[in-house]
């Protein structure tokens, strides 16, 4: 058959979000791909220039619907550096708690979507079911299931409710059992292995070259994890291993993500133990309260410029569930950030699509793109 | 790696095109270079100093001029470094980094459409997030929110 | 596994294929038997997640594998407004990132001085909770109500009266109250500019501004000393809620924010 | 067993009705009604209506059954609001689809677009008229009924391809091509597996094949043929793990992407009708049809309609197996599917034919509690 272009998206079951993968196929073979982004572009970076520092947090949750807290953490760290604010230690632990639970939630969501792409129907619901418990935990202390708005410049909004750590430990126990079940359903299936082995290969040097990060990079044997290499928050004080694999294919990415979930459970147990033992304030005491709610005289233009607040530039790097996320916040002394720039890991992972898609079959696109774990909200921002 | 180390390593290769290395908390420093030596700078950092991972390219509009900030990461040093160059607003172009780091491709497309910085010799400089034919550059300071705008979208047929 | 043109490599394992088909089927069958007794779903319109029995650890019997305690205590749903204690300070509208709160006039106890209370457009609201965090009197709180669907967009706008109805329905309220910070900014006065017009004291929602007599001999340098007694606002900082109303009503812009940065 | 069959019941019904009507009207018009040809014609119509009603009802119940089973496999409940335990949910869905406006893409070929789904449904229904469900539900002695059923069964790829091609959609086209390739690839092992059964049973008549299994069911001795048959049937029914033609992850909805409303319902019904036919064929060929093992008490089959009851129980159990497979296995890829079809299934099927021939030759059959049949 002669070659033809097909549009996989923006409304397509494979895309998991609004984007368009244009594929040039010859028969069932992929000859070329061209991802088209921008269907979900909301101009978050632009809107941020028009908002107070704390109000930007509401946008961060909309960056990625499965990793809202990780994005909040990312932005907050940059904003704190730009505004010269230091959070208390308990807030840092709470943020790590958020981050790791978010990683669990995000990877469970990824698992569900990924197996769904392969046609596995029941594990899809198992993944969603177990993610719901993580969302329950989020709801119990942030007050929302997806758009958390939990972190604040200088700390977090509120402390954990009583009894939270006990519930969280139960959820962790339950999840640890489920991981075995997931492996039986996926790795234990010949068809799964035949579908995933040797698929979407992106070797380590290529991955580094194309800016690919996160589980995709670690599945190629490159042990780069910002939590280990450049410990932020309190990751330096916690004990965990970097999950990695050598296969550089879809199966390897599956293995890396499953191992990351296990490591997250391990991290979370340490964090919960620490939180049990160390009560304390969760928001910085000497905090300029014009920063936003509560009791903020915000909305009055030019107020901060009169106060000569020190300028600054903030930069933060966070290992988001999808990979390396960066934020760059420029504070020019106003009550709004002058410029906010984010680096989305999926953005770079998608930009390398040609390297890991060309040469495979049309039927391989869903598992490969599933193993990339596309979250369009943070690509388009 | 400290800013002084960076300066020491880069000065012989760039000479006066290296405008300075500023300290930046949490990174190895912020290398300011002249845009005429862009590729030389990229090569020096990529080949000599081992900054093999280009994480982000961001453009900042300072109204009078625009700044391009490259964020690089070295797996060996486990450190970030910023590269920064300024371009005048009426002549905003800089050499593309996609020859050195393929990952620059999309970042530069985004910077071009958002902050109107042209990257010379870019393999595929077209709109990424905005629709084709979009005539505005949203992240310029002159682009105000809450203003009606005329938007002409050309639909591409394949 | 790949056709020509595909780069090779990748993970490879080969084991007994029959066993490998049987294993996932056995796992699915185990799950099937387990969920025959009670599936994990909660039958939403009939059972509700915020039921007390789902709020504590009812565990296996409820269908959830494990109960997670106090899920609903902090939930941020529809607001409840206690009109009686609202002081019309405007802080909720200020703090709203989505500009969905509008202060509208409601009949107050004093007919001469109409009261302004928030009206919330839930078509825009993002439930961030900044407004209830900012509310100094705790009269605007968030409840566990989440069912908002309506056939008309206009019905998404909740007037203060409707928000008060939510308040009276005695839904569980978000208990989180944030502490007032110690080193908060204060309202400061630039005395030479003040004309003693009383506007700030009149409009102050907490009545924390009192006009005190100040002998003002030299209002502006080089001018003739005034004969009369001047009045100047004095802000009681412990009662002040930092809403900034006085600043916005001051005709001479002589009030401003001050204090530690 | 009683001699009343579905057709004789229909004929009697028509006869009684028309003669009563003729007697009531009287005169030449009445005598016209008592015409034998008319009685036969109306009898056939009644027969067809009964078949249609039974097959459609079964299909819809089958969909319900699958939804409930899948629900439990997935730790949820399945349809549960409309009717008792959601029994009427599919009727509601069907009504909704029925009321929907049928849209056709402007560039689609009009004839093919409407002809495809209609013919697909009609041919699927036709098979149902051939299959004997019990001694009563039986369309009479048809010596080649198995062959006829399989012939009609294999029409499907043609109509799928017609509708896919005329939809003028790239996804439909790819789905249609995959469907054609897959069905043709699995037609061969399917028929070869059937040959094994035919060799052992010595007949192409489904009724005879069932009678041959009165002493022992064929699944034990013909286990290889059964495996091949089930796998090929899964491919023919386009169910997970072989649902590539409508693999929703990459092809949206495959060859029925452009269909909506009642035309989509045609596809849906026909798919499940084919699934039903597949399960029925497995029961007929390997699981003894409407008979029960002889070591079970005879009272289980002594009551009226017992044959149909046991037959449907077996059919639904077989279909439950398909649902179980669907709930736990991922989808394979086109080339893997075809490679398995040509490289594994056909040799296996040939092996099963040889095994069957050997069995017949030595007349020594390992059976589960049954005695060897002398009539094989």
pLDDT tens digits for D285-337? 888 878 787 777 777 777 777 788 888 888 999 999 999 988 888 888 888 88
Q: Residue D249: is its pLDDT beyond 50?
A: yes
Enumerate chain C positions whose Cβ falls within 8 A of a Cβ in D. Answer: 1, 3, 21, 24-25, 27-29, 31-32, 34-36, 39-41, 43
Least Cα separation, residue B81 to chain A (angstroms): 11
Q: C186: phi > 0 → left, psi -120 to 50 → alpha, else beta; which?
A: beta
pLDDT tens digits for B80-99? 999 899 898 888 888 888 88
Last residue of a domain, one of C118, C140, C168: C168
Q: Residue B157: is its pLDDT beyond 50?
A: no
The C-alpha atoms of residue A166 and residue B16 are separated, in whole angstroms, by: 62
Yes or no: say if A360 and A201 are a contact pair by the CB < 8 Å rule: no
Q: Which chains touch A (3 or more CB pairs under 8 A)?
A: B, C, D
How distant, in Å, are the alpha carbons of A105, B53, D171 from that of A67?
8, 24, 33
Which residues pair with residue A8 across a beta bridge? A21
Give C48-52's long-range contacts (Cβ < 8 A, gap of 24+).
Answer: C50/C75, C50/C144, C50/C172
Q: In chain B, which residues have their Cβ closer than 8 Å to the Cβ of A209?
A: 52, 101-103
* A98–B contact, CB cutoff 8 A: no
* Mean pLDDT for the stretch of residues D177-194: 85
pLDDT at residue C155, as a whole number: 86
**Within-domain flag for A195:** yes
The C-alpha atoms of residue A201 and residue A35 are separated, in whole angstroms, by: 18
Structure tokens at D102: 């049928």
Q: Residue D193: is its pLDDT beyond 80?
A: yes
Beta strands A29-36 and A20-26 are antiparallel
Least reliable range by pLDDT among A226-230, C207-211, C231-235, D370-374: D370-374
Q: Which chains touch B (3 or more CB pairs under 8 A)?
A: A
C-alpha distance across the termini of chain A, in Å: 39
Q: In chain C, which residues have their Cβ closer than 8 Å to the Cβ of A368?
A: none
Sorting pLDDT into bands at 50, 70 and 90, what band is D359?
A: confident
- Total of domains in chain C: 2
For chain B, domains (ranges, CATH) are: 3-120 (3.30.460.80)
Nearest of D300, C185, D86 to residue A300 by alpha carbon: C185
How distant, in Å, are the alpha carbons of A156, B23, B90 from that of A78?
15, 16, 30
pLDDT at residue C11, as a whole number: 56
Q: Residue C184: is its pLDDT beyond 80?
A: no
The C-alpha atoms of residue B29 and residue C231 are separated, in whole angstroms, by: 57
Of residues D197 and B135, more confidence is placed in: D197
Nearest of A351, A347, A340 to residue A323 by alpha carbon: A347
Instruction: Name the DSSP letter for residue C66.
Output: S
Searching chain A, which residue's CA lies closest to the CA of residue D242?
A119
Q: Map residue B100 onto helix, strand or coil.
A: coil
Q: Residue D368: is its pLDDT beyond 50?
A: no
Sorting pLDDT into bands at 50, 70 and 90, what band is C220?
A: low
C32 to D80: CB separation less than 8 angstroms, yes or no:
no
* D144–C contact, CB cutoff 8 A: no
What is the extent of the structural domain holding C111? 79-168
**Within-domain flag for C25:** no
Dihedral Cα D233, D234, D236, D239, nearest 10 deg: 150
Q: Which residue has the tokens 């091509």?
A: D177
Q: How many CB atoms lie within 10 A of CB D318?
A: 21
The C-alpha atoms of residue C176 and residue D266 are separated, in whole angstroms, by: 56
Instruction: Name the DSSP letter for residue D344.
Output: I
**H or E stretch including D318?**
helix D306-328
Yes or no: say if A42 and A61 are a contact pair by the CB < 8 Å rule: no
How distant, in Å, are the alpha carbons of A46, C156, C205, C207, C261 from that of C241?
32, 30, 9, 10, 18
> Best residue in C20, C21, C29, C39 to probe D by mutation, most D CBs within 10 Å?
C39
The C-alpha atoms of residue C88 and residue D164 are separated, in whole angstroms, by: 65
Q: How many CB atoms lie within 10 A of CB A254?
A: 28
Q: Residue C138: is its pLDDT beyond 60?
A: yes
C-alpha distance across the termini of chain D, in Å: 22
**Within-domain flag for C217:** yes
pLDDT at residue A291, as a whole number: 59
Using CB atoms, pick whichever of C1, C24, C32 lies closest to residue D329.
C24
pLDDT at residue D369, as a whole number: 41
Structure tokens at C117: 């209370």
What is the extent of the structural domain holding A345? 44-380
Q: How many CB atoms lie within 10 A of CB B62?
A: 14
pLDDT > 90 in chain A, percent: 10
Of residues D148 and C254, more confidence is placed in: D148
Q: Map residue B85 onto helix, strand or coil.
A: strand
pLDDT at residue C225, as a whole number: 56
The C-alpha atoms of residue B25 and residue A235 are separated, in whole angstroms, by: 18
C36 to D72: CB separation less than 8 angstroms, yes or no:
yes
pLDDT at residue D1, as a whole number: 39
pLDDT tens digits for B115-149? 888 888 888 888 888 888 787 888 888 887 765 44
The C-alpha atoms of residue D367 and residue D344 are separated, in whole angstroms, by: 27
Please report how the helices D170-201 and D261-286 are oriented relative to each other, as an axis angle in degrees rounded to 10.
20
The C-alpha atoms of residue A378 and residue D221 are separated, in whole angstroms, by: 59
Using CB atoms, pick whichever of B25, B127, B145 lies closest to residue A50.
B145
CATH code for the domain in which residue C231 is found = 3.30.70.3270
10-residue stretch averages of pLDDT, chain A, 381 residues long: 81 83 86 88 86 84 87 90 85 91 91 86 86 84 86 83 82 85 83 82 86 88 87 88 85 89 91 89 69 46 55 88 90 81 90 88 86 86 82
Average pLDDT over all residues of chain A: 84
* A354–B contact, CB cutoff 8 A: no
**Within-domain flag for A88:** yes
Q: Residue C216: is its pLDDT beyond 80?
A: no
pLDDT tens digits for C37-72? 777 777 778 877 777 666 554 444 344 555 555 667
Q: In chain D, which residues have their Cβ closer than 8 Å to the Cβ of A362?
A: 174, 250-251
The C-alpha atoms of residue A315 and residue B81 are separated, in whole angstroms, by: 11
Touching status, chains C and D (3+ beta-carbon pairs under 8 Å): yes
Q: In chain A, which residues have their Cβ closer than 8 Å to the Cβ of D336?
A: 194-195
A348 to B58: CB separation less than 8 angstroms, yes or no:
no
A46 to B53: CB separation less than 8 angstroms, yes or no:
no
Searching chain A, which residue's CA lies closest to the CA of residue B58?
A341
Q: Which residue has the tokens 């928030």?
A: C118
Q: Map residue B18 onto helix, strand or coil.
A: strand
Q: Map residue B137 onto helix, strand or coil.
A: coil
Beta strands per DSSP E along A123-205 = 151-152, 155-156
C-alpha distance across the termini of chain C, in Å: 65
Least Cα separation, residue A30 to chain D (angstroms): 13
Q: Map residue B30 onto helix, strand or coil.
A: strand
Q: Residue C150: is its pLDDT beyond 50?
A: yes
* A45–B contact, CB cutoff 8 A: yes
pLDDT at residue C61, as a whole number: 38
CATH code for the domain in which residue A368 is found = 1.10.645.10
ipTM of the complex in this document: 0.82
pLDDT tens digits for D269-289? 888 888 888 898 898 888 887
Which residues pair with residue C141 across a beta bridge? C80
A362 to D250: CB separation less than 8 angstroms, yes or no:
yes
pLDDT at residue A307, as a whole number: 56
- Total of domains in chain A: 1
Least Cα separation, residue C32 to chain D (angstroms): 4
Instruction: Name the DSSP letter for residue A196.
Output: H
pTM across the whole model: 0.86
* Mean pLDDT for the stretch of residues C94-102: 83
Q: In chain A, which residues have their Cβ closer than 8 Å to the Cβ of C239?
A: none
Q: In chain C, which residues have their Cβ closer than 8 Å to the Cβ of A124?
A: none
Q: In chain A, which residues have their Cβ closer than 8 Å to the Cβ of C133?
A: 157, 293-294
Yes or no: say if A91 and A155 are a contact pair by the CB < 8 Å rule: yes
Q: Residue C4: is its pLDDT beyond 50?
A: no
A121 to D170: CB separation less than 8 angstroms, yes or no:
no
> Best residue in C3, C4, C5, C10 to probe A by mutation, most A CBs within 10 Å?
C10
**Which class for B107: exposed (0-12), middle (13-18), buried (19 or more C-beta within 10 A)?**
buried
Question: What's the sign of the alpha-carbon dihedral D161, D163, D166, D167?
Answer: negative
Alpha helices (H) in chain B, listed in sequence order: 3-14, 38-43, 104-115
Least Cα separation, residue C99 to chain A (angstroms): 11
């Amino acid at each position: 058959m002669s070659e033809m272009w097909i549009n996989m998206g923006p409304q397509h079951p494979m895309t998991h979000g609004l984007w368009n993968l244009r594929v040039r196929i010859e028969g069932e073979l992929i000859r070329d791909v061209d991802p088209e982004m921008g269907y979900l572009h909301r101009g978050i970076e632009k809107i941020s220039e028009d908002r107070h520092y704390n109000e930007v947090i509401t946008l961060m949750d909309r960056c990625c619907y499965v990793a809202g807290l990780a994005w909040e953490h990312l932005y907050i760290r940059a904003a704190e550096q730009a505004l010269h604010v230091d959070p208390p230690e308990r807030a840092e632990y709470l943020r790590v708690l958020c981050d790791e639970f978010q990683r669990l939630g995000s990877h469970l969501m990824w698992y569900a979507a990924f197996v769904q792409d392969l046609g596995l129907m029941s594990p899809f619901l198992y993944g969603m079911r177990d993610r719901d418990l993580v969302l329950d935990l989020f709801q119990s202390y942030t007050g929302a299931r997806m758009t958390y708005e939990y972190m604040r410049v200088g700390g977090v909004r509120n402390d954990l409710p009583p009894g939270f750590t006990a519930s969280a430990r139960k959820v962790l126990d339950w999840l640890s059992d489920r991981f075995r079940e997931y492996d039986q359903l996926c790795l234990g299936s010949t068809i799964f292995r035949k579908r995933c082995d040797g698929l979407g290969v992106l070797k380590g040097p290529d991955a580094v070259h194309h800016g690919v990060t996160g589980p995709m990079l670690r599945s190629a044997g490159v042990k780069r994890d910002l939590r280990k290499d450049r410990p932020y928050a309190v990751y330096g004080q916690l004990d965990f291993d970097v999950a990695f694999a050598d296969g550089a294919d879809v199966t390897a990415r599956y293995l890396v993500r499953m191992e990351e979930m296990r490591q997250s459970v391990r991290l979370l147990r340490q964090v919960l133990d620490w939180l049990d033992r160390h009560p304390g304030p969760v928001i910085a005491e000497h905090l300029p309260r014009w920063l936003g709610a509560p009791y903020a005289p915000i909305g009055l233009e030019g107020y901060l410029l009169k106060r000569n607040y020190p300028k600054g530039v903030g930069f933060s790097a966070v290992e988001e569930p999808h990979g390396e996320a960066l934020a760059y916040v420029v504070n020019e002394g106003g009550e709004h950030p002058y410029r906010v720039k984010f680096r989305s890991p999926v953005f770079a992972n998608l930009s390398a699509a040609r390297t890991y898609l060309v040469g495979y079959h049309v039927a391989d696109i869903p598992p490969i793109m599933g193993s990339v774990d596309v979250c369009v909200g943070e690509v388009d921002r | 790696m400290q800013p002084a180390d960076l300066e020491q390593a880069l000065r012989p290769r760039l000479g006066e095109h290296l405008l300075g290395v500023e300290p930046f908390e949490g990174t190895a420093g912020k290398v300011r270079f002249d845009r005429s030596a862009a590729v030389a700078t990229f090569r020096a950092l990529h080949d000599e100093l081992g900054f093999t991972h280009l994480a982000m390219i961001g453009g900042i509009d300072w109204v009078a001029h625009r700044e391009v900030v490259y964020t690089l990461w070295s797996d060996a040093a486990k450190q970030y470094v910023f590269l920064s160059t300024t371009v005048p607003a009426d002549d905003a172009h800089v050499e593309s980094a996609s020859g050195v780091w393929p990952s620059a491709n999309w970042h530069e497309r985004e910077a071009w459409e958002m902050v109107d910085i042209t990257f010379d010799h870019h393999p595929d400089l077209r709109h990424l997030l905005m629709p084709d034919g979009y005539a505005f550059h949203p992240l310029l300071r002159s682009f105000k929110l809450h203003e009606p705008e005329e938007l002409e979208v050309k639909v591409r047929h394949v | 596994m790949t056709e020509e043109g595909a780069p090779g490599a990748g993970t490879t394992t080969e084991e007994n294929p029959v066993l490998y088909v049987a294993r996932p089927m056995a796992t699915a069958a185990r799950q099937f038997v387990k969920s025959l007794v009670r599936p994990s779903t909660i039958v939403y319109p009939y059972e509700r997640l915020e039921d007390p029995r789902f709020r504590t650890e009812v565990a296996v019997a409820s269908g959830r594998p494990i109960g997670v305690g106090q899920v609903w205590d902090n939930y941020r749903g529809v607001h409840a407004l206690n009109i009686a204690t609202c002081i019309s300070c405007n802080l909720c509208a200020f703090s709203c990132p989505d500009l969905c709160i509008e202060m509208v006039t409601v009949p107050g106890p004093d007919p001469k001085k109409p009261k302004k209370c928030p009206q919330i457009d839930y078509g825009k609201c993002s439930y961030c909770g900044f407004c209830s965090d900012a509310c100094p009197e705790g009269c605007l709180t968030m409840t566990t109500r989440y069912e908002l669907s309506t056939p008309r967009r206009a019905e998404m706008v909740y007037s203060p009266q409707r928000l008060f109805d939510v308040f009276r329905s005695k839904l569980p309220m978000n208990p989180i109250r944030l502490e007032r910070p110690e080193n908060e900014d204060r309202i400061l006065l630039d005395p030479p500019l003040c004309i003693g017009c009383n506007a700030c004291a009149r409009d102050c929602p907490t009545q924390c501004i009192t006009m005190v007599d100040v002998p003002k001999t030299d209002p502006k340098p080089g001018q003739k000393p005034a004969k009369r007694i001047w009045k100047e606002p004095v802000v009681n900082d412990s009662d002040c809620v930092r809403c900034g109303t006085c600043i916005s009503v001051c005709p001479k812009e002589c009030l401003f924010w001050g204090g530690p940065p | 067993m009683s001699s009343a069959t579905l057709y004789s019941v229909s004929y009697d019904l028509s006869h009684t009705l028309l003669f009563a009507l003729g007697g009531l009207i009287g005169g030449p018009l009445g005598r016209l009604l008592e015409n034998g040809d008319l009685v036969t014609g109306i009898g056939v119509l009644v027969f067809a209506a009964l078949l249609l009603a039974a097959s459609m009802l079964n299909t819809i119940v089958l969909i319900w059954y699958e939804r409930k089973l899948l629900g439990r496999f997935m730790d949820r409940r399945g349809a549960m609001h409309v009717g008792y335990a959601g029994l009427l949910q599919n009727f509601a869905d069907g009504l909704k689809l029925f009321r929907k406006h049928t849209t056709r893409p402007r560039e689609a070929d009009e004839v093919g677009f409407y002809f495809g789904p209609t013919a697909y449904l009609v041919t699927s229904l036709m098979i149902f008229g051939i299959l004997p469900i019990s001694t009563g539900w039986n369309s009479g002695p048809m010596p080649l009924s198995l062959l006829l059923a399989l012939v009609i069964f294999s029409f499907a790829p043609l109509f799928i391809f017609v509708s896919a091609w005329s939809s003028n959609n790239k996804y439909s086209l790819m789905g249609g091509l995959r469907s054609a390739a897959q069905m043709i690839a699995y037609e061969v092992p399917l028929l070869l597996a059937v040959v094994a059964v035919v060799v052992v049973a010595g007949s192409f008549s489904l009724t005879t094949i069932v009678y041959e299994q009165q002493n022992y069911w064929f699944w034990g001795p013909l286990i290889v043929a059964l495996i091949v048959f089930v796998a090929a049937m899964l491919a023919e029914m386009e169910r997970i793990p072989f649902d590539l033609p409508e693999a929703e992850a990459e092809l949206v909805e495959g060859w029925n992407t452009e269909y909506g409303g009642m035309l989509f319902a045609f596809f849906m019904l026909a798919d499940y009708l084919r699934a039903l036919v597949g399960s029925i064929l497995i029961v007929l060929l390997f699981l003894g049809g409407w008979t029960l093992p002889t070591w079970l008490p005879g009272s289980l089959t002594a009551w009226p309609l017992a044959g149909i009851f046991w037959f449907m129980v077996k059919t639904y159990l077989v279909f439950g197996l398909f649902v179980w497979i669907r709930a736990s296995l991922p989808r394979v890829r086109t080339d893997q599917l075809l490679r398995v079809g040509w490289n594994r299934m056909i040799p296996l099927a040939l092996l099963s034919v040889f095994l069957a021939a050997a069995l017949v030759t030595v007349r020594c059959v390992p059976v589960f509690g049954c005695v060897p049949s002398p009539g094989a």
